[in-house]
Amino acid sequence: MPLIEKGRVVEDRFHRIGDDEALPEGAPVLIGIDRFLREAEALKGRQAPVGVIWPNDRPIGEIEPYLGQLSLIALGFPIFRDGRAYSQARLLRERLGWTGPLRAVGNVLQDQFLLMQRSGFDQIEAVKQADAAAFEEVVHRYSAFYQPATDERPSLLRQRLGRTARPE
């Protein structure tokens, strides 16, 4: 699957590793939450980046004690109509202060790219190569927004009030 990062197709440097597979030495890995929690203490000493795939049916607040250990958080979209990962992304960015890479994985469709970007995702695992090619057009389709979001584009209300900065 193509990986889109900040509008460009990039090579995924993280290796997705199953729960029963050995972790490759020196390579960035992306593992499931059950394995991460089981091995969290041992992973602290790992010399390569560790990312976690966080399911959308688990409270995102549980990840807070581990944020310092992680180099990537991937949030899952098991089906296109399940949007809980959008809320998780906003909570990670706005309440928990996560500034690292945030990846959307699973059933990710082209018409969701703009909302994913506005919710705080900076990496998207596209389903098809054509989706990745359409990313730039999709995220710039609209120039005005009613809702505030985690991206830097101000809502119409903030524009009308002359404020583009996020309130403190």
Residue with tokens 């997705």: 16
Q: Is residue 28 over pLDDT 80? A: yes
Mean pLDDT in residue range 110-118: 80
Q: Is residue 30 over pLDDT 70? A: yes
> Predicted confidence band at 130 (pLDDT cuts at 50, 70, 90)?
confident
Q: Are 88 and 104 in contact (CB under 8 A)?
A: no
What domains can be seen in the chain, in order of their start residue? Answer: 3-143 (3.20.20.70)
pLDDT for res 34 = 94
Mean pLDDT in residue range 124-149: 69
Q: Give per-residue pLDDT as tens, 52-102.
A: 999 999 999 999 999 999 999 999 999 878 889 999 999 999 999 999 999
pTM here is 0.81
